[in-house]
Amino acid sequence: MKTIKRMLEHQIWANRELLSAIQRCDGQAQEALNLFRHYVIAEQAWIMRLNGESSTHLRLWTDDADLASLEEAVASNEQRYGDYMERLTEESLDDMITYVNQSGVAFQTSIRDILTHVALHGQYHRGQINRVLRESSVQPEAVDFILFSRLS
């Protein structure tokens, strides 16, 4: 439980750091913004599923992400994951969640595996975003877990 909580704390910190880097782009890295939107909306989908809500209305990929809506989504996700983690117990980590994905396919997955996926999915896309930032002559943001652990 402690490890998963720590991974999600890192996710929240890294989202803030990367959002700050994207804000500095002044709209010059739409690909970075689109990637950031994808994983922020994916985070939203997963927390909705964990809370028993449908996420089928969410579009995971678009080419027209905008900064203002992402700022709101990041803040909302941070609040929703924080609230969820406060209620979560060690005993419930292996509970199975039944949900329907964006294609309408039903799945059952443990809470532990969902939360691990959320953290790893974000890390994957943050690496992609940093590549795009570098290619756009914007300083990439250091968001590795070890840096987070040194700072906290």
Annotated binding-site residue? 57: no
Whether the CB-CB separation of 110 and 96 falls below 8 Å is answered with yes
What DSSP string describes 94-114? T-EEEEE-TTS-EEEEEHHHH
To which H or E segment does residue 132 belong? helix 111-135
Instruction: Tell whether residue 117 is among the known ligand binding residues.
Output: no
Residue 126, SS3 per DSSP: helix
- 132/111 Cα distance (integer angstroms): 32
Query: Do the annotations mark residue 38 as ligand-binding?
Result: yes
- Residue ranges at the known binding site for a divalent metal cation: 38, 121, 125
Which residues fall in the annotated binding site? 38, 121, 125
